[in-house]
Structure 1
Amino acid sequence: MELAAKVDALMDGLRDDLERLAAIPSVAFPGFPAEPVGEAYDLLVRLLGEAGVEHIERIDLPGTAPVIFGEIPPPSPDAPTVLLYSHYDVQPPGDEKLWLSPPFVPTPVEGGLRARGIADDKSNVIAHLGMLRAYEGRPPVGVKIVFEGQEEYGSPFDDYPRTDPERFACDAMVIADLGNLRPGTPTLTTGLRGACEVVVEVRTLEEPRHSGEFGGAAPDALLVLLKALSTLHDVHGDVAVAGLRREEWTGTTYTEEEFRELAGVREGVPLIGSGSLGERLWSGPAITVIGLDAPSVEHAASAVVPYARAKLNLRFHPRQDAREAQDRLVEHLRSLRPFGIPLTVTPGDTGPGYEATTGGSAYRAARTALREAWGEEASYVATGGSIPLVNGLAQAAPRAEVLLFGAQDSMCNLHAPNERVLFSELRNTVVAMCAFVREYAAGFRAEGAS
């Protein structure tokens, strides 16, 4: 049977299993019950076994939900091994009043289903299962399966894989924790911006002082902080911190109309920064003030503010070293003396970016596979979000090609109310994964024979 027809014959069962999985509130955050996470784990172990995975292990790491590890040996000595990653835990639903239907009641929408976690990342879990079913548990490659149970809250895969490299050894890996730029546009994500945090604070007075009696000479800590923060961007809104890498983006990106709708930009409000959206979002830096300690307007007193603090989030170029990027921001802030007053600057957490090497046989196979599934050439994009586990897995298998694609799309409302997945994207992702392992096995053997 033709590959696409075989997948089409499986889709009813895959949809049913996606609904069963999405109905389980497998939130691994503190304060949420652990039983649903265990229920999702048990369901997936059963589904993997039914799909022909005979070797399944439970990995228990300190302070985290269990990881499912499955393995199918290569069918021949000259066949490659592919690691398949996705996660079965989900984000909390947030304010349920903003949902059009209960978040853990999978509900039909036009062309798909709505539920928390149905796109991120349970659709991709099901896509992996679909590939295994299409090959009746005997794919043309060796397979290692990693279904993580706590990716959304403190993933152990940021660090753990490098401590157990033999387990994660492979020739290529498909990390399915994202998807297409837009529905119907096959997309390979080749870059992830890194992230770090910095806290800057100002203390000028022992306590508040009457603004009428002291204002004008007594140093206002909030004014000092605001003057410092205003130096982080130029008049166009571009980051003005020296040493942060920025390059032209040559891949595909959003139209401005798509981005405005996705970001919820109010009518008449311009976007900030200059250059292409890809450059602003993916191959250049971004600094966001994510927290501010200052008197609230509602409880404001007529007093000079003695203390103010801000927390900054920096996103930086995929190839820039995380510590270097953070150091550039810290140095910029420490060099300032707004009104002659020094700032206290404290560096926080860092997470590296990632840029894939795209010239190998796995990428050639993936481009062919995505073209077969969607009927058009794959686009290359990056993402401004960080997925540190990519580096963790890549460090465990440094020679493996890393591919990032899946059944989500950027309009699926992941982490937001009314998250949804489209059946067309799920179906095409299963076809693409099936075609990928077929093409990769053939190309790998051909390279080995040459």
Structure 2
Amino acid sequence: MSASSLQLEMHPLRESLYEEMHSRPFQVIPSPARITHLSVMCSEQQKAQQFIHLQQLCEMLGGAVPKEDLPCFQQQFGQLQVRWEKHMEFVSYTFIWLGGDHGDPFAESGISHLPDGWLEGICGEVVAAFHMSVENVCDSAEPTIPEVKTYFDTMRLVGSQPSQGAAQVWTSYRLHDDGYGRFLIYNREMSDSQLGRLIQRLLEIESYRLMTLMGLPMARSIGPQLQLMDQQLAELTQILSVEEYDDEKCRDERELLGRLIHLASRVEAYRARSTFRFNATNAYQDLVMQRLADLREDEVSGHLTLHEFITRRMIPAVRTCKATAERLEDLSRRIDRVSDMLRTQVELSIQGQNQELLSSMDRRSRIQLMMQHTVEGLSVAAISYYTIGLVKIFIGVLYDQGLHINKSLSLGISMPLVIVTVALLTRRIHSKFSKLAADSVDSKDK
């Protein structure tokens, strides 16, 4: 049975996974060429608007208009090549012009032949913008270093010989009067495919380098605030560590807890703002270092290579971002520990207050019990008094009806009987209610 006749259930992502490996192909770029590259930070809504703007460019240039919003689009319009790529945070445009006079490396650029007004309609914020001039020196002599320096407005040059000397790359890593950076590439013996891979790596290095450094301003702005919050946390910890207080320095745990919650909320706000940016910084750095390793540079005598120049400033910037992120995490953990201690102390304080309240209630209960016993004694006397009064009236009625009894003797005999009877009834009622209260307490405990 042939492989094509196998009836197997395919994963719904199988084809897209295959296509992902071919979604961003290397370009084939002949030399000479003029290239302009833009990296524009934008939201998802702006990315959709940029795709519509790209469709308008294709219509203006008379080419096929893309219907589907793909991660990467590239098309040839005569001597102009256009490449559009979507990334997580930004969109990149690469314009390659292959025609015209190539005498002055930067007399014209990849955007020189775009329709008027189209470039200004791109929405978003430009992070990377630079021109790249590719010259063919396979059959001619290369310009001298002083001559190359004139193309960069006599700025200090950074250069190397990538691919083991198959080409030479020059740049200043500075912005020129037109607001763009500049790269000058001399092709010595590279094929068009090799040159396309080299240029793609250089474009990615410059874009990712700038995206890596995006986290540095945030780290610098957060640093002083972290120092201030660290001092505030140290003060709160010092207050908690003091064992004895006088009346003037007595602390309010609720006030301390409120200050600590405010401090924790500020730290979490900074973490929410910076976590993605710092993680992106680490990811972009890894990409830059990988692309630099792929260049396989040889040194040009007296000049820093691209790898040396970039790592000299980029690695400290990345470490600053990493240190700031670690300080935020450490401060958050310390605030959690202090919060736990303060909550424990508040709970102990509440337990102490509850214990005092229970003791006070117990004392009041004993006093009330003593008062109750006193009232019970008085109530026995009062009830007995009124009862004896009723007995006296009853004896008088019997006497008036003709019953010959000694009223004084009868009243004297009834007095102790009434008092004993009232006392026994009062005690029995008290015992009954005490038993009901005890049964109620036992049922609650169960």
TM-score range relative to shorter protein? under 0.3
Higher-Rg member (1/2): 2
Structure 1 or 2: more helix by fraction? 2
Greater share of residues in strand: 1
TM-score under structure 2 length normalisation: 0.22
TM-score by length of 1: 0.22
